Amino acid sequence: MFVVRLITLILPCLFWVAGCGQDENLNTNIIEGAAGGSVLLHVSDGNPISRPLYSWSDITNPIDSNTAMQIQVARTSELDTTVWGVISSDPNQNLIQSPWPHGTSTSSVAPTINTEPDLQTNIEYRVTVTKVDGTFGYREFTILP
C-alpha cells in the first residue's frame, strides 16, 4: 500500500518536471514552423498582429548574439521574392538589435523593400536574419486571424 501511495505522489511530479523547459509558444496569433541556421529566431505577436516581432540569438557568437546586419521576409511560396526587409546603414556592422518589429526602420537601419509593411493572415512567411560574418537563421511562421 505504501508503494502505491508513493507512486501516486511521485508520478505527477515527474510529469511536471518533464514538462519544464519545453518551448511553449505563448503567442495567440502566430504559428511558428520550420527553422534553420545558427541564428535562432522566434516570431511573436506584434501590435497590430500584421506586424510581428522578430527576436533572435546567435548560438555561435554569444558576445554579439542579439544583433544583425539584415532581416528579410518572404512568402514561403515565393522565397526568391522579398516582401519586406531592412539592412544596416553600414553593411559592415550588425546594427539591427533584437527584438525588431516588422515594418520598422530607423536612421541606422534602412528599408530594402517594403511591399508588405503589414503581413497578411493565413499566409506562410519566412523571416531570415543575417549577420555581417554570413551566419544566418530563418523561421517560418503564419499569422492567424
* Structural contact between residues 58 and 38, judged by C-beta atoms closer than 8 angstroms: yes
**Is pLDDT at 21 greater than 50 in this prediction?**
no
Average pLDDT, the chain: 85
Q: pTM higher than 0.85, yes or no?
A: no
- Average pLDDT (68-89) is 98
Residue boundaries of the structural domains of the chain:
42-143
**Where would I find the H helices in the chain?**
2-19
Burial 105-141 (b: 16+ CB within 10 A, else e): beeebeeeeeebeebeeeeebbbbbbbbeebbbbbbb
* Structural contact between residues 53 and 43, judged by C-beta atoms closer than 8 angstroms: yes
The CATH class, in words, for 42-143 is mainly beta
